[in-house]
Structure 1
């Protein structure tokens, strides 16, 4: 196994490049639908409860809300647009009574580094049009079977937007990529600011 596919190496440091999805509900069924749709759309290989062990050193777990609750994160491997096999993960932020749940699908910065994918050019933020567009494609595919309220793609984007504030519109200036449904169609506005 190469470092590009090693869990231990890829979860060692840094943050996460994410697809953050506002699910639109707080029930387990809604979260499960989006989780299953994202996992399938990304073509994730395996589902494991530990990022500090190699897949060969642990039992696979079901890709379910119950597993998310038990482990906090679920991990697998995904094929990046570069063709490299990389570690990935997902976590949920439960909204409670007055807000929606969020599901964050991510690739660790260290996994992008191991694959040689550039996401920082010295500016005060991380951005990769290649990874943004790839994550937006995963969101679009997932949306077909599990519609959600809105989503964002970029570095550590979870919770940076919400459907109520967007009101079905893409902002003109976008520091991250936005995915906003309107009339049943998911529209993507890449980062432009």
Structure 2
């Protein structure tokens, strides 16, 4: 059986992504860099690589920088899940330009989660994991202590599902995804409740 931490196995990268998407704010490399550095540390990601077609030991690490994000599209590593399994993970940036916010998107592929034996689904029509939600919320809270952000969204392929301006500082009553919403210096977590 192939390991869920192997880069070359395409099935590890399949099935979509469970994400912590962070709305960093206006286009500013320094803000994205601060969030990226804080995220890599908070999640305790092993390595920082630019290629999926080589195992970590077969490639040189790349700097964990905005420049590397620009060059490679995604930065890749391995992360230990709260259940103990080591899996592949990645991080990408969605640059908004002048009109909208920049986002930093930390993700763990569903293929790797399934191979690591993470329980999910619970009869719902989409991937949901309370274990992953709580873990990603804790990572987001730690990032916020070092690098404040406008919004964090947690769940299956959540990147772009909303933004801080649409929420206007209020957590939705009914939540299909988890929210990390700042109010001043305090970060509130609204877990998914559907």
Contact 1:18 1:157 in 2 (8 A): yes
TM-score for both structures, normalised by structure 1: 0.96
TM-score for both structures, normalised by structure 2: 0.96
Aligned to 1:4, the other structure's residue is in SS state coil
Report Cα offsets for 1:84-129 as digits up to 9, x if no partner: 1111100000000011101000001111011100222342211100
Q: Tell me the residue number matched to 2:164.
A: 163
Q: Distance in 2 between matches of 1:91 and 1:55?
A: 18
Q: Distance in 2 between matches of 1:84 and 1:105?
A: 17
Q: Distance in 2 between matches of 1:141 and 1:106?
A: 16
Q: Tell me the residue number matched to 1:130.
A: 131
Q: Distance in 1 between matches of 2:41 and 2:2?
A: 24
More off after superposition, 21-30 vs 139-148: 21-30
Go from structure 1 to structure 2 and tell me whether the alpha carbon gap of 1:147 and 1:25 turns closer, same or farther (over 3 Å shift): same
Q: Distance in 1 between matches of 2:93 and 2:13?
A: 20
Contact 1:4 1:115 in 2 (8 A): yes
Aligned to 1:170, the other structure's residue is in SS state coil
Alignment of 1:98-117 (within 5 A): 98-117=99-118
Q: Distance in 1 between matches of 2:139 and 2:13?
A: 25
Q: How far apart are 1:12 and its partner, in Å?
A: 4.0
Query: Given the alignment of the two structures, is residue 67 of structure 1 paired with residue 68 of structure 2, yes or no?
Result: yes
Q: Tell me the residue number matched to 1:36.
A: 37
Q: Distance in 1 between matches of 2:6 and 2:123?
A: 27
Instruction: List structure 1 runs of 4+ shifted beyond 3 angstroms.
Output: none
Contact 1:25 1:31 in 2 (8 A): no
Unmatched 5+ stretches in structure 2: none
Q: Distance in 1 between matches of 2:136 and 2:8?
A: 23
Q: Distance in 1 between matches of 2:149 and 2:112?
A: 27
Q: How far apart are 1:153 and its partner, in Å?
A: 0.5
Q: Tell me the residue number matched to 2:84.
A: 83
Aligned to 1:153, the other structure's residue is in SS state strand
Aligned to 1:151, the other structure's residue is in SS state strand
Q: Distance in 2 between matches of 1:99 and 1:127?
A: 28
Unmatched 5+ stretches in structure 1: none
Query: Number of matched residues?
Result: 193
More off after superposition, 63-72 vs 3-12: 3-12
